[in-house]
Amino acid sequence: QSIPFFIGFIALEFVVSWVQRRKLAGRINDGISSLSLGILSRLPDVLFRSIDLITYVYVWDNYRLLELPWHSPWTWYLTFLGVDFAYYWFHRISHEVNLLWAAHQIHHSSEDYNLFTALRQSLLQRYTSWIFNLPMALFIPPSVFAVHLQFNLLYQFWIHTEVITSLGPLEFILNTPSHHRVHHGKNPYCIDKNYGGTLIIWDRIFGTFEAEDAKVVYGLTHPVNSFEPILLQFRPLAHIWNTFWATPGFCNKLSVLFKGPGWGPGKPRLGLPEEIPVITGKEVPYNPSVPAYLNCYAVIHFAVIMDLYIDLLATVTVSNPCLYEIAKCKYLNTSFFKKNCKEMQAASLQLQMGSLPKAGILEFIRCSIFLCIYKLGYLRSELAFLDYSYEVRHLFLITYAEDTRNLLLKKKKKK
């Protein structure tokens, strides 16, 4: 139900950013990458129930010590503080434990800072965050907890923006866009600061608060330089795996997993601050050039994927999903991995190098199969205008294939 509001606020942010600075709030490639990662992170919910609520209800049913009345305002106030307190420590540990950082760093991998970034989430992070909420299951009813868990996540959406500067006295209590911009910065003064979810008071209490000062440069200290979801999700784990086996000594191997991402033999737990790369202010975000028609195709293609995604969430029930829903998940995964991000990076290089356009051919076959299934009535769109987009994107594919073929012929003639 929140998806239409997300889309509306993203559109509003673009308008406000253009009015304020005559500059758009983001880029097509980075925005599609963020949305793809967000959708990918939610797909497991289609096949499995939420691990947060399953474990919470299990502890509540079997081990609760006290049952606070759900209708009491004090229960709701306490739950609000408890959920935010648990989030602070989970978030902080996700930055300070390398194994958890491997999942959480996906949210920090964008070099833009806008509402798209709020949706850039990890596929794996949820499988550890639930642990921090379990103490509340000893006395807080699951229904109250579930409401505040959603509220805490939804609140954090709007603070991912640059169009809001300062909120005055509220900056002392609430986590605001200014505070969270610091958290997403790779400037040395921004590293490991401002972990709060809804409230900033925990950072002030535990010494991790930092006010926004110099212009914030966003992203990871060592940029990934990719928009591909699979690479962004799993390359950090591959790096930990290689480092684990390359590091001598059993205790050092454990430190690779459970100390900070900047740790190394002989270094403090969180690494050395002086090893953080210096920020010059002239950093240029990764932004490979691609043909305009390929950008148009990617946007149209992603609109189709969003339509399928919303329909999938609307039709799935609490019962076991049928083969139809599983097939949709498979199609969505294939679409993200093979098209939206990877090909946008590779297309320009393919055109320049004159290599065999296998990716374009495979994409044309995949989309043709999908179009046939759609025309047979097995897939439905809630948005009528998207019916035409399924045919339009094939025109872009034909243009891409034709341009590549002509380029290959020219190169052959020169030889």
Paired with 199 in beta bridges are: 174
pTM flag (> 0.75): yes
pLDDT of residue 38: 85
In this structure, the answer to whether residues 195 and 296 fall within a common structural domain is: no
Is residue 165 one of the residues assigned to a domain? yes
Task: Supply the DSSP symbol for 219.
Answer: S
DSSP state of 325: H
Check residue 39 and give its pLDDT: 81
Q: Are 246 and 256 in contact (CB under 8 A)?
A: no
| Residues 191 and 297 occupy one common structural domain | no
Residues 156 and 21 in one domain: yes
User: Is 100 within the bounds of a domain?
Assistant: yes
Q: What CA–CA distance (Å, rounded) separates 198 from 155?
A: 7
Q: Are residues 185 and 303 in the same domain?
A: no
Are 200 and 297 within one domain? Answer: no
pLDDT of residue 340: 44
134, amino acid identity = L
Backbone phi and psi for residue 218, each to the nearest 5 degrees, phi listed first:
-95, 160
**Hey, what amino acid is at 32?**
I
Domain that holds residue 13: 2-206
Q: In the prediction, which pLDDT does 36 show? A: 82
> What is the spatial distance between Cα 258 and Cα 255, in angstroms, rounded to a whole number?
5
The residue with tokens 């051919």 is 361
As to burial, measured by CB atoms within 10 angstroms (0-12 exposed, 13-18 middle, 19+ buried), residue 36 is: buried
Retrieve residue 169's tokens: 């006295």
Q: Is residue 158 part of a domain?
A: yes
With respect to residue 201, please indicate whether it lies within any of the assigned structural domains: yes
pLDDT at 35: 85
* 206, 235, 257 - which closes a domain: 206
Q: 386-414 and 342-353 are packed helices; what angle lies between their axes, rounded to 10 degrees?
A: 30
Please tell me the chain's helix, strand, coil percentages from 3-state DSSP, rounded to the nearest 5: 65, 0, 35
223 within domain boundaries: no
Do 121 and 37 form a contact (C-beta atoms < 8 A)?
yes
Class of residue 353 by CB neighbours under 10 A (exposed 0-12, middle 13-18, buried 19+): exposed
Q: Which two tokens stand for residue 218?
A: 């966003």
Both 301 and 189 in a single domain?
Answer: no
Residue 234 CB-half CA count within 13 A: 6
Q: Are residues 47 and 154 in the same domain?
A: yes
Q: Which residue has the tokens 């966003």?
A: 218
- Nearest alpha-carbon partner for 390 in 360, 366, 358: 366
Long-range Cβ contacts of 270-276 (<8 Å, 24+ apart): 270/96, 270/192, 273/188, 273/191, 276/186, 276/188, 276/191, 276/221
Q: How many domains does the chain have?
A: 2
Q: Give how far Cα 92 sits from Cα of 85, 196, 218, Å.
A: 11, 9, 18
Assigned domain for 184 exists: yes
Give whole-number Cα distances, 107 to 220, 233, 334, in Å.
10, 10, 22
DSSP H helical ranges for 44-193: 44-47, 51-63, 73-96, 98-104, 115-118, 126-129, 142-155, 177-183
Write out the E strands in 236-348: none
Which one of 167, 191, 206 terminates a domain? 206
- Identify the burial level of 321 via C-beta atoms within 10 angstroms of its C-beta, where 0-12 means exposed, 13-18 middle and 19 or more buried: middle
What letter does residue 339 receive in the DSSP assignment?
A: I
pLDDT of residue 225: 86
Q: Which residues make Cβ contacts (< 8 Å) with residue 194, sequence separation at least 6? A: 175, 179, 180, 182, 183, 200, 203, 208, 209, 210
Euclidean distance between CA atoms 385 and 235, whole angstroms: 38
- Ranges of residues in the chain whose predicted pLDDT is under 70: 45-49, 293-294, 297, 301, 304, 307-371, 373-415
pLDDT for the residue numbered 24? 82
Examine residue 390 and state whether it is found in any structural domain, yes or no: yes
Is 272 a member of any domain?
Answer: no
Closest CA to 273 of 283, 263, 287: 263
Provide the β-strand partners of residue 174: 199
Asked which of 163, 186, 206 is the last residue of a domain, the reply is 206
